[in-house]
Each structure stands twice: as C-alpha cells, then as structure tokens.
Structure 1
Amino acid sequence: MAEAHQAVAFQFTVTPEGIDVRLSHQALTEIYLSGVRSWKKRLIRLKNSVITGVYPASPSSWLFVVIAILATMYTRSDPSMGLIAKIQEHLPPYPTPSLLFSTMLWLLLIFTMRLCLKQLLSYHRWIFEQHGKMSNTTKVWALVRIFSGRKPLLYSYQGSLPNLPVPAIKDTVKRYLESVRSLMDDTQYERMTNLAAEFESSLGNRLQWYLKLKALWAANYVSDWWEEYVYLRGRSPIMVNSNYYGMDFLYVTPTPIQAARAGNSIHAFFLYRRKLNREEIKPVSLATIPCCSYQFERMFDTCRIPGTLTDSVQHWQDSDYVAVYHRGRYFRLWVYQAGRLLSPREIEFQIQRILDDPAPPAKGEAKLGALTAGDRIPWAKARAEYFSSGVNKRSLDCIEKAAFFVTLDDDEQGMMGDDPAASLDCYAKSLLHGKCYDRWFDKSFSVVYYKNGKNGINAEHSWADAPVLSHLWEYTLATDCFQLGYNAEGHCKGEVDSSLPRPQKLNWEIAPECEEQISQSLAVAQALADDVDFHVFAFRDFGKGKVKKCRVSPDAFIQMALQLAYYRDRRTFCLTYESSMTRLFREGRTETVRSCSNESCAFVQALEGGEVRSDVCRRLFRSASEKHQLLYRMAMTGGGIDRHLFCLYVVSKYLGVESPFLKEVLSEPWRLSTSQTAVQQMELFDMVNHPEYVSCGGGFGPVADDGYGVAYSVLGEDVINFHISCKHSCPDTDAHKFGAQIRKALHDLLQLLSPYQKEPTRTEKTRPEVKKDL
C-alpha cells in the first residue's frame, strides 16, 4: 500500500552483491520536519515555563533590577547593606557579585509578589457582600488587580491559586442535617441526628486528622480521589452513565456537505490545540478572579485505558493525526504534511476519500467500538488478551494515541422534519450513545459528523468537567462559521494538494472469542441505550431578561422551577444535585449544591397547598432563592458538604473502619441531578445580529434509575435550553411529562413575580449573579 510506505524512512534488500539500500527522500523529509516541529514546541513550552514561573513579574524585569542595582553602585551607595561585598570575597571580581545580588533580589521580589497574590486570591468574602456596602477588607482586596499582571498565559496563575480548605467536621455535619430535614420525617431525622452526633464526637475527628494531613501535602485534597473513585473505579459502562454530549447550532447548519463540515471543524480543533500548547488561551475568570486551568492539560491526545480493578487516564505528546470511523472501518487521518497543518479544504478532501472508500470492514471490525460501551472488566480482559501484540496492538495504539476520535455517521440529525421536537430527542440520544459501537467512548472526546452536515461531540468525563470541553466547543463552532467559512457550493475554502497520501485504513485480526465478547458488550450497551428516555426543548417564551427584571438570579429561578416541577410530578421532594465549580482553588473540579432546601420546600408547599395570599408565596420564594444563592456561593468557596463527606469516607475505607453515618450519607440517591452550562466566550458570538447561531447546549444520562437528569443552558436574554433524561424502565419517570411540568412551573413563577418587578428586595442588593459554569 502506498500510504504504508510513507511511514518508513528506508527499505533494504539483500542481494548477491551486498545490501541494497533505497532511501525514501519524502519520508526522510517528513522525519526532519517532524523533528523541527517537535523542537519548536519544546522551545515554546520552555519559554512559557519561564514566563509562568516568574508571573506576575516578567523575565524582562530582571534586567530592570540589574540596571537599577548597577546604577546605585556607580553612585557609590550600597543597597545590599554589605551583602555584595560579602559575595565578592568568594566570587570573581565585579560585576559578578552585583549580578548575583540583583538576581537574588529579583527572585525575592517575585516570591513576595506571588505570595501576596496567593493571599489575595484566598479571600472570597467579596462574593457574599452587598453592593454599596463593601467592607474595608474587600477594598484592600481589590489590590488583586495590581498583582495580577498583564496578559497572563493559560497557566500563569496556577502557582498562586489557593488550596481548597478542609471544612470543620461540625460545620459539615450541621449543613448536612439541615439539607435533609425536609426529606425525612421526625423519626428518620432523629435517627440521622444521633448517627451524626456519634460520628462527630468519635470517628469523625480521627478521619479529619488524616484529611488535613493530606491537604497540607496535596495541591487539592479532593480531586485525585474524585477522579479515581467516582470515575475510574466505576465498573459499569461509561456510555450513558458517565459520558456527556454537546450539540451543534440549533437553527443553522453552515453546510450540508458532511466532508466540508468535518474539514473546517477538524482544522479549528487543531488551531485551538496550537493555542493551547502555546498557552495563548486566556485563563477563565470569575468576576476578574482567575480560575484553575489544570484540566485543559489532558484535552487532546488522551484516552481512558480499561483495567480490571480501576481504569487509568493516559496522555501522550501531540499526535499529528485523528482516528476516523466510517461504516465499520477505522482510519488514521494525518492532518500535518511537510510540517504544516492541512488546510480545511485538504482535510475535506481526505475525509471525502474515506467516505468514498469501498473497502469492507475486516472480520469483527465493524462493531469493535462496542467494547468501550460495555462493562469495563470484560473490556480490560479482552484488551489484555487480544490487543496486546501484533497488528491489533498497533491499530489500537493508533486510536488511543490520536488527537481525538471522529465518527462519520450515515444518519441525519438535528431539528428537522415534520416533528422537530422529536428530532431533537433523537439527536440527543445519537450523541449520547449512537449505535453503541460507532463511537470510541474511551477517548477524551469524540466528534460526530452527520450526513446532512450537522455535528456534535461526546466526551469522557474523568479527565475534566463540562465547562472545559465547552470552551473548546465554543471556539470550534465560532471558528468554523465566522472565520473559516464556506464557498458558494458549501465546500471549504482554499486549494487542494492532490498528492496527499491517502488516509491509512487500520488492520485488525479479531479472534472468534473476541467477536463473542464484542457481541456481549454490545448487548449490554444496547439494553442501556434503549432504556434511556430523552427530551430536549428550547424554552423561548421568556429568558433571563424577564427573570432579572423580577430581581431574581436566573439560576435560582430555574432551580426553584425544577423543585416545583418535581413536586408536581412525584408529589414529594428529593435530594437534588446541582454542580458548582471549585476552580477558584488549585486543581478544583466541582462541588454539590443541595438545591432542595427547607426554604424551597416551604415555598413549594405553600404554592401547591392553596396559599391564597400571593405576597406570602413571593416572600417564601425570595427566601428560597436567596438561600440557593448562599448555598451556591458556599460551594464555590470551599464550604460545600458532599466532597468533604466523600473524602472522609475514602479515608475510612483506607483505615478499614466502618461509619454507619458516612455509609448512609454516601448511599443516598440523587433522584434529581441538574447542571448548567454557561456560554463562556460570548465575544465569539453575535447574539444580536445572529441569534440563530447558538448551540442547543448539551446533556447527560440519568444518575438514578428512578430519577431525572436535567441539563440547561441560558442563552442570551430570551432562550433557555433543557435536556431531560430518565429511564423507560422506571414507571414513575417520563422525560416529556417532566418537560411539560418544567414549562408550566417557569410560567407560574414568572406570573407570581412579574406584578412586582419594581419591588426592591434583598436579592437585588446583593452582588450580581456569580454563577459561571458547572
């Protein structure tokens, strides 16, 4: 095969005259250019390491300090107070001692600035203060802007971010008991109170000591255990249960040509990776306060590797290709040629070659991806037995080490046809699980391109949380449409080098026993996928514009609507999970906001219990929404409940001790799991002139077998998108019915509040909405 020869630098044969060596100049050129590109990347990373290491100062500030010290020496003054003379006794003569002292002074100044910045970033009381009543402490804290430096790189703040604090046992226990009071009767609550008191007075203090010891040593006392025990040690399928998805534009398809859409967006993905490698991405911030960026590190060239006890996340150096699936075949598509990134038109040309390739899949190849969709232990055993050597290992390495995974789907998806609502539901299910074998669910993310030009993304969850991938997805969608664009025929712009080597089809030798395991994994995955009930809809009756006129946080408004909708649907309350980010701390991920509070339950019961006085309901609603905002702010600033209890539970397992309290807490089901995905780069989209260019957001599968998963995104002033999931197997849940309850609850809340839009409230006086992302 011609493309196979591009991978070797030379060939040789043994003849009677000796060894005949035939050099491949094209291959040697590729090796040379690849080496040059690799060294350029190393130099860029070295430069960025220096810049990040001295931030918030700059490397050029060293020269300023040196010149200043030398200038004082010429004026016969000694700023070192005799230290330079002491150095001169042991080192060569002037000016080496002055340079050494200047460097030491410069490093001391950097250390002081970084220490001051870390202390300033550790202050979070500003989140809780009211407008117009800023304390003197907060006014001093505003100096953070002075110490923040200019034009930071992506990882500039990493060394200055504070560590996540360990809450006091008594505070966590108190907040937990408060969060479950409305979910338990008096007998249950008394029993839980006794368990909590026993835990707090005995075992809790011992576990807390170990946890504080870890917090002193580790950058974050939660994140590594969260990744391992919540994600990597799960033995059930990650498809539906863990992976999540993101959708394309809701109302616009930039081109109906599948290969062209892939060409533009794949090119955009690699442009983003280039910016990522150069650390040119601006750090995400919350009200000018920087957030942790460590999750960006494993975005590309990453794969989850199955194991019998626990999986692992492997990250490789930059791959210059993507793995592509089409009609049961796997291909390696090189995106670099002669050291340059292929143009969108060239990538489209290569994708079209794959679409036109008539070769059938090898025996057992077509549904190979089902191994990543089924249970983890069978996949780990099959990988060790059938993919550890030979051609299978080479092909599997190609997929796992690819920059990311691409699926060219033969289906058409999106909002279309006579029933656009139903088509959105099918679109969501396709992105979440597809056919259960046409995605590689272990890759950090897989991009799906449909026959009609629509696309979407499926992401593995262990390496990062949704806002990180959402940042990439926003950039790709915007770059695809507003920067790269398409010609009048719908093709990518630019010219094509027709001499490009064809994409390389991967080879497999699948044993009959492996085929049997593939079939078993597919059966498990198919049953899981068939059980998922999905409903996606764009709520356009009103958005955050009207909600803010009611002087209410949009997120609190939606959360109260979800509580009201769930109560109407099930006539009871449930433990509710809302994701909050903790990226104000180093290596922070998420914390849980327990949205079902005593205040929210009191409001819902009053509204549904026939309370005739609307002012009473409004007062209860204000109290509930303010409590929700307080819980959210506490979760963001390290005052959450669930991550602390989770880590205490992990410590108890390491010590081999049982805690009835922790065991019961950790076994409580989250029957309503919610999450908001916010648009982080509004500057990329023109919501005024092009409101149709908005993504429908993304979603995830249900967390509990008898519960709902609800993802929502607030877009512009007038749109709220909802993604609702549950399981058909539960007779008490119905995604469409719950969606109707959410619509009604939103209208009812607005009707309750809208007559009093000009009413001054405490919510109005507090700081504006601080929610950034999940």
Structure 2
Amino acid sequence: MFKLCRLKYYLRNKERLIILQPLTSSLDEAFQRYSSSAADKDFLHRSILPTDHFQASLPRLPIPELEDTLKKYLECQRQILTDDEYDQTVDIVNKFKVTEGLDLQKRLIAKDKRNKHTSYIAKPWFDMYLKSRLPIVLNNNPFMYFRDDPRPEYQNQLLRSTNMIVSSLKFMKTLRANILEPDIYHLNPAKSDNMRFRKIMRMIPTPFVFYGAYMFKTLPLDMSQHKNMFNSTRIPRPGKDELVVNKEGRHLLVMRNGNFYVFDVLDASGNILEPGVIMASLHQIMQDQSPPNTEPVAVFTAEDRDVWASYREKLISLGNEETLKLIDSSIFALCFEDNKPTDPNAITRMFLHGEAGRIWFDKSLSLIMSAGGNTCVNFEHSWGDGVAVLRYFNEVFEDSTKKSVVHPSTSVQTDAASVQRLEFKLDQEMKENLQQSVKKFNSTIQSLDVHHLEYYKYTKSYVKKSGMSPDSLMQLAIQLAYYRQCKQTVATYESCSTAAFKHGRTETIRSATAETKRACTLFVDNHPAVSVEELKKAMMACSKKHGSLTRNAAMGKGFDRHLFGLKILAEEEDGRLPEMFTDSNYQKINHIILSTSTVSSPAILIGGFAPVTPNGYGVGYSTEDSRIGFNVTSYPPSTNAPNFIECVTKALDDMYEVLEGRHPAKSI
C-alpha cells in the first residue's frame, strides 16, 4: 500500500512529467531511427522498455490461508469421492488444520519471508521435475505445432528451417541484450498497448513500475524462465538431474536419421552468420546420403533417468565427453525428418516422440521439421512453462514469415558450408545397452494411442456471444465425454500460469466441479425430460464457476501448489508426512485421469502430450476463430481414445443444440 501511494504521488507530479517529455520524445526519435538501421539485423526489435524492467517490482506469489486451501480441497474431493471416503477425508483435514497443518503453515510463511527474491513454489516445483526418475518422453516433454507458413512456396524444409533458425537467433539475442519487449498482459489493450504507456512506464523507477502498470490495467509477467531456453540441457544425474546453461556455445545441433551434426551460427563476436552460410550448412546435412544411424545414442535420453545417468558416465569414460559437451552447449536442436506425414495422428507421433534416437529430449528446446516443412517445438519441461515457450513461438513465427531472410529465389552457396559430424565411441556393452533402450522405447510408444478431432459447428466468437467462456465450454465437453464414457467424475487437471508473480510457475484449475457434475447428469443420465432452459442454465453455471476457478488459480489462490509446498516442507524438514498427505484420498485426487491444457495463439495449430497416469487421458485442445481442435492420447486397453473422441463430439453437438435453443438428442 505504501508503494502504491508513493506511485500515485509520482504519477500526479505533472511538472516532473512535463520536464521529462522532451527527453522521452528525443529517445523515441532515436529509437525509431536506430530500429531501421542495418545494425539491427540481428534483433527482432529494440524495446524502449528493458526486458527485465518490471522484474524487480513483480508481486510475490501469495501463500493462501490454510483454512481457505483446505476448504477448496474438500470441495474438490466431494466431486470424486464416495460418501464414506469423503467423511474419512473431512476428519483427516480437520485434524491437520489444527495440528501439523498449523505448524507447517507458519514455517512455510517464515521460509518464504527469508527468500523474498523468489516464490515459495519455484524451487520445489523445479526440483519435482529434476528428481523424477521417469523417462521424460511421454511423461514430461510436450509439443506445440506451428501453423504452416502462409506462403506455400516457403513451406519448404530448407527455406523454412533457415528462416526459423535466424528468427530464433534474433529472439535469443534480443532477449540477452535486454531489449525484448517485456511480457505484459493488457486487460484493455486499446488504452494501454501503446507508446504512451511505454513512455510512462520507462520513467517510473523499477521498484515501483509494476504498480504503475497495474494502474493502467495491465499485468507485467515474470520472465525469469526465458534465460534457460537457449544453450541449455537437462543433464542426467543419479537421484536428481541438473539443468546446465552454457552461453559460450555458438553452434546449432542438427539431427537427421539419428545422426548428429553441429555448425556455427554465430561468429566469434556473437553476430548471426549470413543466412546464406546457415542455409548452405543445412543443405549439406540434407544432402548427406548416410543411412539411418544403427546406433542412435539419442535414444538414451528417453531412458529412466538413473539408467541414463549411468550410461552417460560410461559414455564419458569411453572418450565421448567433448561430443556430449557440443550437444549440451548447442543453442538449440533442429531435428530433420525425411517423412512427410499429413494425417494429424501421424504428425502428433512424429512431434511428441518420433522414432528411436531421432530427438535429444534433454535439450530445453528442439525444433522438429518434417520433409514437408511441418514444424513443432518439443521442449523439456523442468526449466519453464508454456508462457515462455509461447512468447518464443509467436515471435519466431511472425519474424520468419514476415521478415524472411532466404527466399525461393535464394541460391545455395555450397562452398560456404562448414559442418562437423559427431560420432560416439561405443564398446560392446554400450552397443547392447543401446539396443535394449531402442526396444524399450519402441514398446513404450507403441502402447500410446493418439486421436484427433476437428470440430467446425461453432467457434470461439460464437461461444463468447452465447455468454459462456470458450475454455469453460471445452472443459465441460471433456467432463461430459468422460461421464458418458465411464459414468463417473474423476480427478481433472487444467494448467494455469501464475506468471503474474515473481518466479511463478503454474497452478491447477480443478475443472471437475459440483456444477459440471450436475450438468453431466442432466445431459447424460436417463431421467424425466429436462427443458432446454434448464440445460442452458446448467451450462452457464459451469461457465461462471470455471471463471472463478481460473481467476483464483491465476492469482495464486488455488489449493494444489499450497498443499504441495506444505508437503515438501514436511518431507525436507521433518522427514515424515502428516496423515493429510498419506491419506489414500489425497493420492486419489492427485492421480490425474483427465490431464488437460490449452494454449491459444494464431501461430499454433495444436499441442499435445501423453497422459500422466496409465488409466488417464492427455487432452490438448484449442478454440479458434474457424474451428475447435482436440488432440487426445491414452494407453489402451484401460482407456479408449476413439470412443472418448466420439463422446466429446456428442458433448459438443448437445451443447450446440442447447445454445441454438433446441433440445439435444439423447442417444450417442
């Protein structure tokens, strides 16, 4: 409150603003002149606000009140437990609230106050990823699929990869030069997303600037994750992995048919090499007639993490340390595929897991490109979340399609290529380990089922006009589909960013609510006829509740991360867990059957990930101006993705009928 009062005084001091205005204008003019100069060919833009301008003043992620968290926890449990299970959990929660919970809450708050540079969840959440011993393929790495280049003549593997590499390097350099426009969520873009806002924000001292932005109804977002995007790799270690960033690397890692290649994309001064030089190196790799690698070492990155840690040490002992360093320190990875899939399910498989040894999954960022130019980002998840990747995604798509550096008329400078092929030294034991890892990988990916849905009856704008939020409708469709398929409500996870806070990560939106449960019974169960008006009222109630859950999650007022923080504190400081966390029903609510996520952007076609439990579904979805898309994964026979897609379609059809004022048909 003190900071906000001081800021109001500062902004009202019109004399000071008038004095600074000439300086602002002259800087603006200089900015405009410099932006168009040749010196800026290595950068996306030059923001007049430093990238980290808001970072110091970002609010800290709040620790919710214990009673509020436990109330929300029980409300969510009520939807998935039997009466007896619920009564048992209520007793455990009430006991926890006045005993261990009270003490843990006090200690968590005290620890948070000692670490004001970060959030209470940042390290535990980061460590959760790094301590997991599960293979990161299917359990960790998601993918996001770029839209095709709107110019068909540029939808070419060589052209598109060259343009995307240069745009990616420009993004990296703009970020590291601290001139990338800060991530800001504008509640009213017409009033705040303009130069006037930026001029005023530039004049406010950094300790107060977040509060100035807030007065303009904007929310600056945390950008601490971005620094881990490039030259970074997750290194397997026994018990807990390590994220290593080496900014000295000037080279790119390219993989094709399980073979490894590296070449420099920056010169000794850190400048981006001429596009023709980069294009020549890519062309040389594409022309390499080497057969697919029969010893694809990259498959080890899909292994159990402790197994991979032991294999990596063995590789180093065999003389592969420098090779591994080149892979680890590469700016990012580009994976060329010789296939040209057109089926959405085949595209998902290529981008989510591919063939054995085709992707180095430990790299923080990998671009995967089919022979037809279809492109995705596959990223290791420990270092960051969708918000950071989305910013990269949007910038690279826009720059590569609107400011292309190579064109269909560009000739390949074959004499400019300078590519080094990497070879691993393997003994007989490692060759046998490699073949076992390939078999294990193939068995794992064959157990995954993938299905896709494109739906065109209504769109994002149609849903908004109906009075529902598009995301609430999609989540209700998922609940209706599962209820129709299995006749029950189960633990559901929807990811929500908490990037509005310093070092925020994510919070869970628990989309299975009393409102969705009631809507499911009205739409699906056999009972006396329900009017269209009552069905629509039930849908609107779901939307209202979902909106409340989303706002709470975004503001750090969910219950999942708070309970997780308390649990980790108990493990680390007490060496034992209270009954609250050993309760089988706590395990049940965290055994996620419906894992869901969406990322909305004109640059994204769809995203995807595997289920987080053997009997669950991974549901990536998007609502756009022209269509609705679902990407569903599962592990049969305990789940049935094709039938789930049928049930989603039925749910969307039923809700469309209701929004159109008609009663939906009962049969599927």
Give TM-score scaled by structure 1 length: 0.72
How far off is 1:211 after superposition? 0.8
For residues 177 and 551 of structure 1, what CA distance do their matches in structure 2 show? 29
For residues 355 and 389 of structure 1, what CA distance do their matches in structure 2 show? 29
Q: Does the Cα contact within 8 Å between 2:318 and 2:426 map onto a contact in 1?
A: no
Name the residue aligned to 1:459. 379
How far off is 1:361 after superposition? 7.8
Over 3 Å counting, the alpha-carbon distance change for 1:438 and 1:349 in structure 2 is: same
Over 3 Å counting, the alpha-carbon distance change for 1:661 and 1:543 in structure 2 is: same
Larger mean CA deviation between 456-465 and 610-619 belongs to 610-619
Over 3 Å counting, the alpha-carbon distance change for 1:388 and 1:446 in structure 2 is: farther
1:168 aligns with 2:65: yes
Larger radius of gyration: 1
For residues 468 and 194 of structure 1, what CA distance do their matches in structure 2 show? 41
How far off is 1:359 after superposition? 5.2
How far off is 1:388 after superposition? 5.0
How far off is 1:541 after superposition? 2.2
For residues 373 and 384 of structure 2, what CA distance do their matches in structure 1 show? 28
For residues 247 and 742 of structure 1, what CA distance do their matches in structure 2 show? 22
For residues 246 and 712 of structure 1, what CA distance do their matches in structure 2 show? 11
1:376 aligns with 2:275: no
The letter of the residue matching 1:341 is I
Name the residue aligned to 2:173. 274
Of the three residues 157, 174, 199, the one matched with 1:258 is: 157
Over 3 Å counting, the alpha-carbon distance change for 1:154 and 1:338 in structure 2 is: closer
Q: Does the Cα contact within 8 Å between 2:130 and 2:241 map onto a contact in 1?
A: yes
What's the CA shift string for 1:426-460, capped at 9, x where partnerless?
11011111013110000001111222222222110
Q: After TM superposition, list the pairs within 5 Å mapping 1:388-399 onto structure 2.
A: 388=317, 390=319, 392-399=320-327
Of the three residues 272, 275, 284, the one matched with 2:183 is: 284
Over 3 Å counting, the alpha-carbon distance change for 1:193 and 1:486 in structure 2 is: same
1:447 aligns with 2:367: yes
How far off is 1:346 after superposition? 2.7
Structure 1 residue matching 2:533: 3-state secondary structure = helix
Name the residue aligned to 1:647. 565
Q: Does the Cα contact within 8 Å between 2:450 and 2:633 map onto a contact in 1?
A: yes
Over 3 Å counting, the alpha-carbon distance change for 1:251 and 1:301 in structure 2 is: closer
Over 3 Å counting, the alpha-carbon distance change for 1:208 and 1:317 in structure 2 is: same
Name the residue aligned to 2:44. none
The letter of the residue matching 2:482 is Y
Name the residue aligned to 1:747. 653
Name the residue aligned to 1:314. 244
Over 3 Å counting, the alpha-carbon distance change for 1:752 and 1:358 in structure 2 is: closer
1:620 aligns with 2:538: yes
Number of residue pairs aligned between Structure 1 and Structure 2:
584
Name the residue aligned to 1:724. 632
What's the CA shift string for 1:676-735, capped at 9, x where partnerless?
1022xx6xxxxxxxxxxx5312111111111111111222x232222111112x33x222
Of the three residues 722, 726, 737, the one matched with 2:643 is: 737
How far off is 1:497 after superposition? 5.3
Structure 1 residue matching 2:61: 3-state secondary structure = coil
How far off is 1:478 after superposition? 2.3
Of the three residues 578, 594, 598, the one matched with 1:672 is: 594
Structure 1 residue runs of 4 or more that deviate by more than 6 Å after TM superposition: 55-58
**Identity between Structure 1 and Structure 2 (%):** 29
What's the CA shift string for 1:198-253, capped at 9, x where partnerless?
11121111211221112112210001101102x11111110011001111325965
What's the CA shift string for 1:47-67, capped at 9, x where partnerless?
xxxxxxxx9999xx9xx99x9
1:244 aligns with 2:164: no
The letter of the residue matching 1:268 is S
Structure 2 residue matching 1:182: 3-state secondary structure = coil
Query: Relative CO higher for 1 or 2, CA cutoff 8 Å, sep ≥ 6?
Result: 2
Name the residue aligned to 2:582. 663
Q: Does the Cα contact within 8 Å between 1:250 and 1:695 map onto a contact in 2?
A: no
Name the residue aligned to 1:83. none
Structure 2 residue matching 1:239: 3-state secondary structure = coil
For residues 347 and 57 of structure 1, what CA distance do their matches in structure 2 show? 53
Over 3 Å counting, the alpha-carbon distance change for 1:527 and 1:254 in structure 2 is: farther
Structure 2 residue matching 1:279: 3-state secondary structure = coil
How far off is 1:378 after superposition? 1.1
1:208 aligns with 2:105: yes
Consecutive unaligned residues of structure 1, counting only runs of 5 or more, are 1-54, 69-149, 416-422, 683-693, 757-774
For residues 437 and 57 of structure 1, what CA distance do their matches in structure 2 show? 60
Over 3 Å counting, the alpha-carbon distance change for 1:278 and 1:56 in structure 2 is: farther
Structure 1 residue matching 2:661: 3-state secondary structure = helix
For residues 263 and 508 of structure 1, what CA distance do their matches in structure 2 show? 27
Name the residue aligned to 2:285. 354
For residues 643 and 302 of structure 1, what CA distance do their matches in structure 2 show? 26
Name the residue aligned to 2:434. 518
1:596 aligns with 2:493: no
For residues 594 and 458 of structure 1, what CA distance do their matches in structure 2 show? 26
Q: After TM superposition, list the pairs within 5 Å mapping 1:390-539 onto structure 2.
A: 390=319, 392-413=320-341, 415=342, 423-484=343-404, 487=407, 490=408, 493=410, 498-539=414-455
For residues 361 and 402 of structure 1, what CA distance do their matches in structure 2 show? 22
Structure 2 residue matching 1:387: 3-state secondary structure = helix
For residues 375 and 169 of structure 1, what CA distance do their matches in structure 2 show? 36
How far off is 1:503 after superposition? 0.3
The letter of the residue matching 1:438 is R
How far off is 1:536 after superposition? 2.4
How far off is 1:176 after superposition? 0.6
For residues 537 and 281 of structure 1, what CA distance do their matches in structure 2 show? 36
Q: Does the Cα contact within 8 Å between 2:493 and 2:508 map onto a contact in 1?
A: yes
For residues 615 and 701 of structure 1, what CA distance do their matches in structure 2 show? 37
For residues 182 and 9 of structure 2, what CA distance do their matches in structure 1 show? 17
Structure 2 residue matching 1:755: 3-state secondary structure = coil
Over 3 Å counting, the alpha-carbon distance change for 1:232 and 1:568 in structure 2 is: same
Of the three residues 622, 638, 645, the one matched with 2:556 is: 638
Name the residue aligned to 2:197. none
Larger mean CA deviation between 330-339 and 717-726 belongs to 330-339
For residues 541 and 621 of structure 1, what CA distance do their matches in structure 2 show? 18
For residues 453 and 184 of structure 1, what CA distance do their matches in structure 2 show? 48
For residues 251 and 345 of structure 1, what CA distance do their matches in structure 2 show? 20
Name the residue aligned to 1:567. 483
The letter of the residue matching 2:284 is R
For residues 467 and 740 of structure 1, what CA distance do their matches in structure 2 show? 31
Q: Does the Cα contact within 8 Å between 2:276 and 2:413 map onto a contact in 1?
A: no
For residues 602 and 283 of structure 1, what CA distance do their matches in structure 2 show? 42
Q: Does the Cα contact within 8 Å between 1:702 and 1:709 map onto a contact in 2?
A: yes
Over 3 Å counting, the alpha-carbon distance change for 1:396 and 1:360 in structure 2 is: farther
For residues 454 and 280 of structure 2, what CA distance do their matches in structure 1 show? 35
Over 3 Å counting, the alpha-carbon distance change for 1:259 and 1:388 in structure 2 is: farther
Name the residue aligned to 2:266. 336
For residues 520 and 389 of structure 1, what CA distance do their matches in structure 2 show? 19
How far off is 1:528 after superposition? 1.5
Over 3 Å counting, the alpha-carbon distance change for 1:451 and 1:501 in structure 2 is: closer
For residues 388 and 331 of structure 2, what CA distance do their matches in structure 1 show? 16
Over 3 Å counting, the alpha-carbon distance change for 1:651 and 1:435 in structure 2 is: same
Q: Does the Cα contact within 8 Å between 2:148 and 2:374 map onto a contact in 1?
A: no
For residues 375 and 156 of structure 2, what CA distance do their matches in structure 1 show? 11
Q: After TM superposition, list the pairs within 5 Å mapping 1:578-597 onto structure 2.
A: 578-597=494-513
The letter of the residue matching 2:242 is S
For residues 552 and 376 of structure 2, what CA distance do their matches in structure 1 show? 34
Consecutive unaligned residues of structure 2, counting only runs of 5 or more, are 1-6, 21-46, 188-217, 663-668
Give TM-score scaled by structure 2 length: 0.83
How far off is 1:175 after superposition? 0.8
The letter of the residue matching 2:627 is V
Q: Does the Cα contact within 8 Å between 1:267 and 1:343 map onto a contact in 2?
A: no
